[in-house]
Structures are given as C-alpha cells and as structure tokens.
C-alpha cells in the first residue's frame, strides 16, 4: 500500500534589506532556486528606507 505524503507546510521567507541591491538579487536567486514547492512559500522583502537602488 503506498504511503501518502502530506503536502509541505506553507512558509514565509522574510528578507530584510537596506542599501544592498547586489546582495538582495543574489539572495532572491538563491531562494527561488530551492526545490521547495513554489506554491508552498511566499517571499517578503522588507526595505528599511534604502537610499539606493535596492527598492
């Protein structure tokens, strides 16, 4: 009898940023490259008033 695997839990990935456009791009690329099902997570980028091209 096959074992039923429950769906993975929904998760939130929260990324705080401030004046770091090159790092946020690398971070988002790494998060999106994960094998976790894309419909089971959300990515929230929280900018703390950056004065460069981060936001």
Q: Is 53 within the bounds of a domain? A: no
Q: Is 41 within the bounds of a domain? A: yes
Q: How confident is the model at residue 55 (pLDDT cuts 50, 70, 90)?
A: confident
Q: How many domains does the chain have?
A: 1
Q: Is 36 within the bounds of a domain? A: yes
Q: Assess contact for 27 and 46: CB atoms under 8 A.
A: no
CA dihedral 47, 55, 29, 31 (to 10 degrees): 20
Q: Is 32 within the bounds of a domain? A: yes
Q: Is 1 within the bounds of a domain? A: no
Q: How confident is the model at residue 26 (pLDDT cuts 50, 70, 90)?
A: very high
Please report how many Cα atoms fall inside a 13 Å half-sphere around the Cα of residue 34, on the Cβ side.
Answer: 16
pLDDT of residue 18: 95
Range of the domain at 27: 11-47
Q: Is 2 within the bounds of a domain? A: no
Give the pTM: 0.77
């Amino acid at each position: 009898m096959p074992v039923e695997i429950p769906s993975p839990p929904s998760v939130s990935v929260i990324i705080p940023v401030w004046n770091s456009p090159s790092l946020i791009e690398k971070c988002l690329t790494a998060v999106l490259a994960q094998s976790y099902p894309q419909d089971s997570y959300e990515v929230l980028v929280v900018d703390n008033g950056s004065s460069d091209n981060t936001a």
